[in-house]
Structure 1
């Protein structure tokens, strides 16, 4: 459990210098820029093509670009927050929005999870499980006293996402913009699977599910208000959460059995996200 949590923290921690990866496509292909955090970059998923940002050649941006024969500039990076859209994530790393210009045709954005500190929340939840494995100690910790700190963080992140979308439109005024939500991490029915590889208390699964749904609802709302489309990656991944057995699981556990970061999409999860993004993008970009 400790190693898994340390790995999860490392995956979501700020990364260093990263070069954009350019996909196939001619000068006249769709100019596609992918922005975002580790759910876009796909850390550990084979084949890793950027050791700093933990970016995979089989992440959803690469799959969408392949499907559309688009020219891809992928600057997604593990650990990214909304602040890293307009400021350097590390010395020598350009702000992600610097990849945009007036020629950009398509932009996808996966952001917000690190702004609410979701990896830290999961680490705290795992540490608290031993205090009340049958109860909901994490919910009590973050939502006790009548104030849910995670809901408050989601509310505070809304204006940051809105600012990112305004900047995207300013830099790429002709682009189709798609905000990409987060896939289903926990059982949608709220019934958990406490184990060594999923060290969460039974009562916390439903609360964590609800927090993710709140985050996605906020992102969908900001997309509507921010002249962007929303890619729902949650609905098509229901039934493939981290409690499912290997082969059915598209989100890995705290101790992954398939190449992926802890509590992140594996290759099948990235393919499912790509399909959802394709649906949201639509035709005639």
Structure 2
């Protein structure tokens, strides 16, 4: 059976989520209360759980949910969580301040960090929002028939991801590894 790009992306996203859960689950949950697993969650609205209430007290503009996956995992495993995920974050916010008074997200990662989770990149270059708006409009204009997004935009969005977002993510992952060389890192798309 031939799978469409949307089906492949959906399967990849599901596999990424399972991988993240598996990496976090495979980290020893036998750590003592004196030395809990140090878990850092980085990322954008997908990591922050933006849109899911109630929100944490962590900087209001971030819309970070108390029910996002990092909070749920940390509570179930007894991990010491530092969650600096923030809605609308871009990969540049790993190393620079997203908002005045907000430290770069990588500042939360230290040499003794055991687990890092990350979802990032969708906001880079406004690719996600641009694709949704452009392709949604094209789909409405054609009544959902044909491949209007592909016809109008070709590989524009994929090209932006490959040329800008992917290298920024690789750099971010290398920065995480440099700061916490022993940490297990799970990313989700």
| CA–CA separation in structure 2 for the residues paired with 1:91 and 1:140 | 41
Q: Which of 108, 111, 115 pairs up with 1:106?
A: 115
TM-score after normalising by structure 1 = 0.51
| CA–CA separation in structure 2 for the residues paired with 1:91 and 1:26 | 35
1:120 and 2:120 correspond: no
| CA–CA separation in structure 2 for the residues paired with 1:142 and 1:65 | 42
Q: Which residue of 2 aligns with 1:137?
A: 148
Q: Which residue of 2 aligns with 1:36?
A: 43
Offset, 1:27:
4.4
| CA–CA separation in structure 1 for the residues paired with 2:136 and 2:168 | 28
Q: Which residue of 1 aligns with 2:158?
A: 151
Offset, 1:26:
4.3
Describe the SS at the equivalent of 2:118: strand
Deviations 1:41-75 (A, max 9, x none): 11121222243111111111111111210000001
Which has the higher mean CA deviation after the structures are superposed, 97-106 or 109-118?
109-118
Q: Which residue of 2 aligns with 1:180?
A: 188
TM-score after normalising by structure 2 = 0.75
Q: Which residue of 2 aligns with 1:217?
A: none
Describe the SS at the equivalent of 2:40: strand
1:167 and 2:175 correspond: yes
Q: Which runs of 4+ in 1 moved over 6 A?
A: none
Offset, 1:127:
2.6
The answer to which structure, 1 or 2, has the higher relative contact order (CA under 8 A, 6+ apart) is 2
Describe the SS at the equivalent of 1:56: coil
Unaligned runs of 5+ residues in structure 2 are 1-31
Deviations 1:7-54 (A, max 9, x none): xxxxxxxxxxxxxxxxxx944110100001111111121222243111
Count of aligned residue pairs for this structure pair = 153
Sort the Cα spacing of 1:136 and 1:106 in 2 relative to 1 into closer, same or farther, 3 A: same
Q: Which residue of 2 aligns with 1:234?
A: none
When the two chains are superposed, the root-mean-square deviation of aligned CA atoms in Å is: 1.7
